[in-house]
Structure 1
Amino acid sequence: MPPPFFENRQGALLLVGAQEPLADAVLRRLQHDGHDVLTVHSGDDAALQAALAAAPPFDALVTLTPTSRSNLAFDDIDDAAFEAAIDAQLLSVVRTAQTVLPRLREGARIVHVGSRGHLGAWGGVHQMAASAGLVAMTRSMALELQPEGFFVNLVASEFTHERQDTQRNREAVAHAVSMLVAPHNGITGQCLVIDGLASLRMSEARRPHVTPLN
């Protein structure tokens, strides 16, 4: 018998990254739209394996990896910082997707939620490079998994705790996620930028007055 939280209204959905700032808004929207959601913290491999073992196959996977800008200047970024950014924003998503993929139904939806860093931004070249890698990975996953009926997309949000990271924008991100995991949605291989117009205001063309983080 499947667990009682799976009523198969819109299908069973696994959300990885329940500790992230966007998680509450995304979870509320998914539940409002009729999805049965099981949540797991990212990086908790034991909890992820337990969820996969206890639940029926999933109809969708959502991963949350929003980014707080480090404000490190380019010449202050060492190998360790670069490797940490790549692991947190890209490789962790790869590991999750590879782990969950065998437990996804044919035709399942995969939605990654990251940051708008692939467009370029001051303060964290290593993080922006990792963000660009997530865009390329999403598009390549969509190509490779299309013959098996999977749909893969990315939602790029504003950096966390910055001016456009408002409750309204988080709800817009959540709406986009819910739309992309809908059973009859046919979009795949796309990156939707939901950042409160931050990347259209040309603010990144001007050097920001920020204090580097230690």
Structure 2
Amino acid sequence: MTGQDRRRVLVTGGSKGIGRAILRRLSEDGYRAVGIARTRPADLHPDEEFYECDLTDADVTRRLVETLAEDAPFYGLVNNVAMAPLTSLEDCSVQDMLDAFQLNVIATLVCTQAVLPGMKRLGGGRVINFSSRAALGKENRTAYSATKAGLIGMTRTWALELAPYGITVNVIAPGPIETDGYREGNLPDDPRTKALLASIPLKRVGAPTEIANTVSYLMNDLTGFMTGQTLYIDGGMTISAVKIA
């Protein structure tokens, strides 16, 4: 199979962490994985397709994704990019809410709208949106929880609208994942880190590759009967009665 024959998949926020792992896994699966993010990955390979884009700028993002989709339609879209303001209710500002909404919700909307005509021409496709376990509630995450809960509602609506075209739309909602951001904010000896680990039934945080494996599963033809669903990949936190620190 040539490069032009392989199905294209677009991954937002693909420069590091979970997004980087997703790009690698999809490439291993044989897809033409295309990444976009504000900055290029430090370990970008010469044969990788990657574009720099400020995803908080809806107009710039739409133009880029529409241009990429004109070159060849995308079969899959992984809306992974996100930001998480860490503020209490008292300290959460209107700007915090607007910033989180712009990146977590508007960028998802714009990218999906831009790839949709091509998916319809292909006669099917996969849209995977990223929410979070925090959508169910987490202290000091007002803006983040609100936007991530909103993504679940959007996904269920889109699943209904796009089902006639053979396009499935699902959500992955990770719990704590061992990315650079997690390690920077959760020092091993910090009591809050220990309390967090104690609240996870599996007693560990997840790996980016485990999230990438779930993306691979949802992208597969064999999962074409699943749509509008939210998969919590969180080590059992959503079923635990332990208070989350």
Partner of 1:5: 3
TM-score (ref. length: structure 2): 0.72
TM-score (ref. length: structure 1): 0.81
Partners of 1:167 and 1:124 in 2: CA distance: 19
Q: Which residue of 121, 140, 147 corresponds with 1:130?
A: 147
Given that 1:118 and 1:128 are in contact with CA atoms closer than 8 Å, whether structure 2 keeps it comes out as yes
Partners of 2:214 and 2:231 in 1: CA distance: 8
Partner of 1:179: 217
* Secondary structure of 2:161 counterpart: helix
- Identity in percent: 26
Partner of 2:125: 108
Given that 2:175 and 2:237 are in contact with CA atoms closer than 8 Å, whether structure 1 keeps it comes out as yes
Partners of 1:12 and 1:113 in 2: CA distance: 19
In the alignment, is residue 63 of structure 1 matched against residue 59 of structure 2?
Answer: no
Q: CA deviation at 1:67?
A: 4.5
Decide whether aligned partners of structure 1 residues 156 and 129 sit closer, same or farther in structure 2, where only a CA change above 3 A counts.
same
Q: Which residue of 6, 17, 22 corresponds with 1:21?
A: 17
Q: CA deviation at 1:99?
A: 1.4
Q: CA deviation at 1:78?
A: 1.9
Q: Which residue of 147, 155, 163 corresponds with 1:146?
A: 163
- Aligned partner of 2:231: which letter? L
- Aligned partner of 1:75: which letter? E
Decide whether aligned partners of structure 1 residues 168 and 81 sit closer, same or farther in structure 2, where only a CA change above 3 A counts.
closer
Unaligned segments of structure 2, at least 5 residues: 38-52, 187-192, 198-203
- Aligned partner of 1:181: which letter? M
- Aligned partner of 2:17: which letter? P
Partners of 1:30 and 1:99 in 2: CA distance: 21
Task: Output the aligned Cα RMSD.
Answer: 2.4
Which structure has more RCO (C-alpha within 8 Å, separation ≥ 6)? Answer: 1
Partners of 2:88 and 2:205 in 1: CA distance: 29
Unaligned segments of structure 1, at least 5 residues: 209-214
Higher mean alpha-carbon deviation, 166-175 vs 133-142, is at 166-175
Partners of 1:58 and 1:102 in 2: CA distance: 9
Given that 1:52 and 1:100 are in contact with CA atoms closer than 8 Å, whether structure 2 keeps it comes out as yes
* Secondary structure of 2:139 counterpart: coil
Partners of 1:107 and 1:87 in 2: CA distance: 28
Partner of 2:99: 84
Partner of 1:157: 174
Partner of 2:47: none
In the alignment, is residue 117 of structure 1 matched against residue 117 of structure 2?
Answer: no
Deviation track 1:168-196 (CA, whole Å, cap 9, x = no partner) reads 53111111111111123221000101123
Partner of 2:201: none
* Secondary structure of 2:4 counterpart: coil
Decide whether aligned partners of structure 1 residues 58 and 175 sit closer, same or farther in structure 2, where only a CA change above 3 A counts.
same
Partners of 2:105 and 2:13 in 1: CA distance: 13
The number of residue pairs the alignment matches comes to 198
Deviation track 1:186-207 (CA, whole Å, cap 9, x = no partner) reads 210001011233444445x35x
Partners of 1:67 and 1:21 in 2: CA distance: 13
